[in-house]
Chains A and B, each alone.
Chain A
Amino acid sequence: MTPRFWSLRDALLGIAITLLSLLGVEGGLWLMHVESARPPELSRGFDPSQQYLRPDPEHPGNWRTHLGVAAIDQLSLPPKGSARRVLLMGGSNTRGFREQILERALEAGSDGEWEVLNLGRPGYGSGRVSILLDQALSALDPDIVVIYSGHNEFVERSFRADYEKWGGAGMRWIARMAEKLRIARVLRDVARGQRPRRHDDPLAWIAEYGKFSSLPYSETQAEFERYGENLRHMIRASLGSGARVVLATVVWNRFSEPRVSTLGELDSAARVTVESDLRAARALYPAYFTPLLPAEAFDRVRMEDWGRTHGDAPRDLPGLRPLTGPLAGVEPRFFEGHWDPKIHVFYDALDKLHAGVAPERRSDLEQAAAKLDEVLALVPHHAQALFERALVAWALGERGERVRGWFEEAARYDHAPRKGTPLSNEHVLELAAEFPEVLLVDLDRHFQSTTEDGLVGWELMVDHCHLGPLAGEHALETFAARMLAAWPEEETR
């Protein structure tokens, strides 16, 4: 018998068998309680037409987050009760804020109950925070929105670029449809489990940070303009929904080196001079500068280094400057758990930096400073040279405006910062001036008052942008105090 390829009846039967087999597989997995550890990732937060907050079928009345994170991290948020509701929005720092601390601080200073919901998501920059906030305002009806966002603009830009490069709109739609199937999610997890984690691959880090190595500074400024626009949208949307807004500057680590510097429009002769001067300066640095100036991102101390499954036991760290101002007399605290060995190497180096250079090595560092000055004469906004100039001056015992200026400028002229900088925080300050009804908490300035010379460093931070446990708690107490002072009627409402 000749095969019959073009038969509508056969095609319909084929489709029916497909659907039945799919139903059988999905039903079987459901009956056996086989489920992926990760939910559908739903466009990874970038698509305003997706619902990232949905009614929770397991807890009627609740809203459940549907974000690209492990299922265990999904939140089921209760309906609003009589307590005043505060909503925290931002990236991983915000995610790390402990809601109970803010609730307790608010309740201690007022009558009645407070409820703090935390929608901070790791890696989220202002673009995705803004999309999530739009949905949260209508679903969760907060009384106060706290926005602490500004470290992740280039994290988000990088992720968005990878995501869009991975597939066009059609491919992303197909992927979203496929991820609705339990069998696809389970297979995906099994296949991913066989692959080495990119996070542990130094080459992946080099590739990640190499993406922006030739980004012109005008692009950096444009990125932060978009950040300002996103914040403006969040403020307007929150005020429009009847919520009050707390807008904060973000706290960043002055002693963490910038990511991307470029030589701009220099001619080739000048480039040779700059590169040779930088090499000459580095040859004169003492050995302990090496951990302070890690060549690759993989070598840096990062937040996850404080929570390894194996590693060093925490011990008292050297290299900690005494805290001042509102934190005077308070001992810095860090995360409990296993620490990566590089933490101790780093803090030993920091200890030597703060102690100052030995007299016999002083002239070396003075020569290095002269070389860096030559570089900066040719490229005044070379972020890396500015940072190294600051470190050299600090090691030589210089304190005050000039050295602080170098640290600040190093961050400002970083072409692809992975932390807030003076540039991002200026947008926050401008917006606070534009919207007088918004409560500005200039947290970065506040933390400057807790550190020597206003240079926030590794006493309070656990990497380039993350607040340590002491700083995180203090930040929340500061938010509470400012909120109650600015809105006294909230005390007795």
Chain B
Amino acid sequence: MISRLRTYLWAHPLVWLIPLAFWLALIAFVLFKLTSAPTTEFIYDV
């Protein structure tokens, strides 16, 4: 079963590459970009 799945995934990389790319991109975007967006918590709060 696992062997057949492995063979399938190897033959059809888009099936897992697309979700993987999406999740990696989302996490990277949130961690490296979204958290550095200016927020109203800083000095702008005056």
Contact = CB atoms under 8 A, between A and B. Distances in A.
- Do A and B pair up? The answer is yes
Interface of A: 1-5, 7, 10-11, 13-15, 17-18, 21-22, 41, 44, 68-69, 92, 122-123, 151-152, 155-156, 158-159, 162-163, 166-167, 171, 174-175, 178-179, 181, 183-184, 187-188, 191-192, 195, 197-199, 204-205, 208, 297, 302-303, 418, 463, 465-466
A11 B43 contact: no
A155 to B, nearest CB: 5
A17 B44 CA distance: 42
B36 A465 contact: no
Contacts of A466: 46
Contacts of A204: 42-43
Given A175-B37, A183-B26, A198-B41, 13 more contacts: A3-B11, A3-B13, A10-B13, A14-B17, A14-B19, A15-B18, A152-B46, A159-B38, A166-B36, A184-B29, A188-B35, A197-B41, A297-B43
Contacts of A158: 43-44
B28 to A, nearest CB: 11
Contacts of B19: 14, 17-18, 21
10 contacts: A13-B14, A17-B15, A41-B37, A123-B44, A171-B33, A178-B30, A178-B34, A179-B34, A188-B34, A188-B35
A178 B22 CA distance: 12
A162 B27 contact: no
A147 to B, nearest CB: 19
B33 A167 contact: yes
A328 to B, nearest CB: 30
Contacts of B42: 198-199, 204, 208
Contacts of A188: 30, 34-35
B1 interface: no
Nearest to A465: B46
B15 A68 contact: no
Contacts of A184: 26, 29-30, 34
B40 A17 contact: no
A123 B11 contact: no
A14 B16 contact: yes
Nearest to A172: B37
Contacts of B33: 167, 171, 175
Given A21-B23, A166-B37, A122 B45 contact: yes
Contact of B31 (A69, A191, A198): A191
B13 A155 contact: no
A187 B14 contact: no
B39 interface: yes
Given A178-B30, A178-B34, A187-B30, A302 B46 contact: yes
A123 B39 contact: no
B7 interface: yes
A92 B44 CA distance: 10
B41 to A, nearest CB: 7
A401 B32 CA distance: 55
B37 A18 contact: no
A1 B7 contact: yes
A123 B30 contact: no
B15 to A, nearest CB: 5
A110 B38 CA distance: 45
A17 B20 CA distance: 10
A4 B15 contact: no
A17 B36 CA distance: 30
- Max chain A Cβ within 10 angstroms of own Cβ: one of B15, B30, B41: B30
Contacts of A465: 46
A5 B45 contact: no
A92 B30 contact: no
A7 B35 CA distance: 36
B16 A17 contact: yes
- Max chain A Cβ within 10 angstroms of own Cβ: one of B14, B22, B29: B14
A187 B21 CA distance: 17
B10 A3 contact: yes
A163 B39 CA distance: 9
Given A17-B16, A184-B26, A123 B40 contact: yes
Given A4-B12, A178-B26, A17 B45 contact: no
Contacts of B23: 18, 21
B18 A11 contact: yes
Nearest to B32: A191
A205 B38 CA distance: 14
A154 B22 CA distance: 39
Contacts of A297: 43
A241 B40 CA distance: 30
A152 B46 CA distance: 7
